[in-house]
Amino acid sequence: MEADVKTVKSKSLIRRYFEINLLYKILAGLILGAVFGAIFQNATGAIEILKPFGDIFIRLLKMIIVPIVTASLIVGCSSIAPSDLGRVGAKVLLFYLATSFFAILIGLGVGIFLEPGAGLGITGAASAQAKAANAPSMSQILVNLFPTNPIEAMAKGEILQIITFSLFFGVALSFVKDSKDERLSKLGHLIYDVFDGINHIMFKVVGWIMQYAPIGVFALIFIVFSQQGVKAFGPLLGVTISTYIGFIAHVALIFTLACLAIKISPLKFLNKVKSPMITAFVTRSSGGTLPISMKTADEDMGVPKQIYGFALPVGATVNMNGTIIYLGICAIFIANAVGVQLDMGAKLTIILTAVLAAVGTAGVPGAGAIMLLMVLESVGLKVESGSAVAAAYALILGIDAILDMGRTSLNVGGDMLGAVFVAKNENSLDMSKWE
Ligand code: ASP
């Protein structure tokens, strides 16, 4: 009898948990994690206990990336008629290129105006060395887009290569579906249905994973704040604030202008995009957030799957507005910190390399920090061990998690904006979702 009462009680607790709005639960995990993490500095015992909870959340999200990216890109490409595929694809890529360009202008503008790191006067110190990390060259980035073996690319989670293969597969499927030969066309539709089915199954799994998100989020945020809280609010406050001003300026200017251009309310867009943006903020992974972005685009924004199925996976890998702003501001911070003046040529070089570096940045935590090396080297700021540049770079690495949160969030917001923009421009946005 007593056991029965207990079961009823625990059942209603679980039910109550499921009844609370998911976003509130995630926000509660975020705020509580930050507060407790800031209070309990370097709490190694607690970190050890909480780490698996955070790791499991990241692993669950990673678990579904390969199937969801492959299936949705294939379904996305093949549900566009061959004649339309080029147009939608070109529009998406053009939109990403344009917003990337504005992002670096904002990054440089904020950096030049606020001068983070000025007067820091860092000189070479052997104690502050940068991590040895090799940024790939431009031609390497290009060549690496093409897998030698798609199965290997999937096994290794090489997202850019998976995207390339899925694009080939999807476009070919679109032609086979459209074939005049009835047997071929039938086969094409069959394969399409299989991938469409996989897509929907993965969405179901996403829904379940998200119920675990508040716990994973609490653990992840606690660890960041417990390990970095005090350090992050020290001498690097300036660069952190500058970077976040850049992120906010991008939302205020570019998001607003793009929304107004397609006649949807910027506030409504922000309201709808907040769930993927918060997920990106805490997971620090555009790739990991993809399942949530796709679900939001589909269910809350009314973007047709042939557009978001292409725009979001491609965006999660090549369109990184936040990373670009971060690269611009941090390059200026490091130049200022070591007392190097950047001339016009150097600033132009930063523009070009930051945009390209962002394309090559994987949508995983901390990837942008590796690409920062590439931008620094391009303007002659060599990160050699023991040098002043290495010391300044090491400072940035120390707070990278906090900068990564904001930039990943903006990266994902920019992808969602691209999907909505092109859908509206194509007259295929379900406007009943925006009333
Ligand atoms: N974490 C970022 C992302 O996943 C990439 C970066 O480190 O800039 O979008």
Asked whether residue 9 is assigned to any structural domain, the reply reads no
Ligand 1: which atom is nearest the Cα of residue 323?
8
Q: How confident is the model at residue 133 (pLDDT cuts 50, 70, 90)?
A: very low
7 burial level (CB within 10 Å; 0-12, 13-18, 19+): exposed
pLDDT at 416: 97
Asked whether residue 318 is assigned to any structural domain, the reply reads yes
Asked whether residue 199 is assigned to any structural domain, the reply reads no
Boundaries of domain holding 429: 89-145+229-434
Residue type, 108: L
Tell whether ligand 1 has an atom less than 6 A from the beta carbon of residue 359: no
How many angstroms is it from 189 CA to the middle of ligand 1?
A: 36
pLDDT at 417: 97
Residue having the nearest C-alpha atom to atom 8 of ligand 1: 368
Tell me the pLDDT tens digit for each residue of 70-118.
887 788 778 777 776 688 888 998 999 999 999 999 999 998 888 887 7
The dihedrals phi and psi of 341, each to the nearest 5 degrees, come to -85, 130
Tell me the pLDDT tens digit for each residue of 206-241.
778 878 888 987 887 788 778 766 554 555 688 899
Ligand 1: which atom is nearest the Cα of residue 363?
4
Residue 57 pLDDT exceeds 80: no
Asked whether residue 96 is assigned to any structural domain, the reply reads yes
Asked whether residue 202 is assigned to any structural domain, the reply reads no
Residue having the nearest C-alpha atom to atom 6 of ligand 1: 368
pLDDT at 131: 34
Mutation to probe ligand 1, out of 58, 364, 397, 416 (largest number of atoms < 8 A from CB): 364
pLDDT at 4: 54
How far is Cα 95 from Cα 311, in angstroms, rounded to an integer? 10
Asked whether residue 409 is assigned to any structural domain, the reply reads yes
Q: How confident is the model at residue 320 (pLDDT cuts 50, 70, 90)?
A: very high
Mutation to probe ligand 1, out of 100, 220, 285 (largest number of atoms < 8 A from CB): 285
How far is Cα 217 from Cα 337, in angstroms, rounded to an integer? 34
Asked whether residue 64 is assigned to any structural domain, the reply reads no
Ligand 1: which atom is nearest the Cα of residue 366?
7
Tokens of 199: 């897509």
How far is Cα 342 from Cα 335, in angstroms, rounded to an integer? 7
Of 52-66, 146-160, 233-247, 274-288, the range with the highest mean pLDDT is 274-288
Q: Which of 131-140, 205-214, 335-344, 347-356 has the lowest mean pLDDT?
A: 131-140
> Number of structural domains, the chain?
1
**pTM of the shown model:** 0.73
How many angstroms is it from 415 CA to the middle of ligand 1?
A: 13
201 burial level (CB within 10 Å; 0-12, 13-18, 19+): middle
Please check whether residue 77 is in contact with residue 167, taking contact to mean a CB–CB distance below 8 angstroms.
yes
Tell whether ligand 1 has an atom less than 6 A from the beta carbon of residue 284: yes
CA dihedral 297, 302, 308, 309 (to 10 degrees): 100
Share of the chain above pLDDT 70, in %: 87
Q: How confident is the model at residue 128 (pLDDT cuts 50, 70, 90)?
A: very low
How many angstroms is it from 369 CA to the middle of ligand 1?
A: 9
The dihedrals phi and psi of 116, each to the nearest 5 degrees, come to -65, 145
Tell whether ligand 1 has an atom less than 6 A from the beta carbon of residue 403: no
Mutation to probe ligand 1, out of 61, 281, 361 (largest number of atoms < 8 A from CB): 361
Please check whether residue 395 is in contact with residue 235, taking contact to mean a CB–CB distance below 8 angstroms.
yes
How far is Cα 366 from Cα 351, in angstroms, rounded to an integer? 20
Mean pLDDT for 383-390 is: 71
Asked whether residue 74 is assigned to any structural domain, the reply reads no
What CATH number does the domain containing 396 carry?
1.10.3860.10
Tell whether ligand 1 has an atom less than 6 A from the beta carbon of residue 365: yes
Tell whether ligand 1 has an atom less than 6 A from the beta carbon of residue 360: no
pLDDT at 38: 84
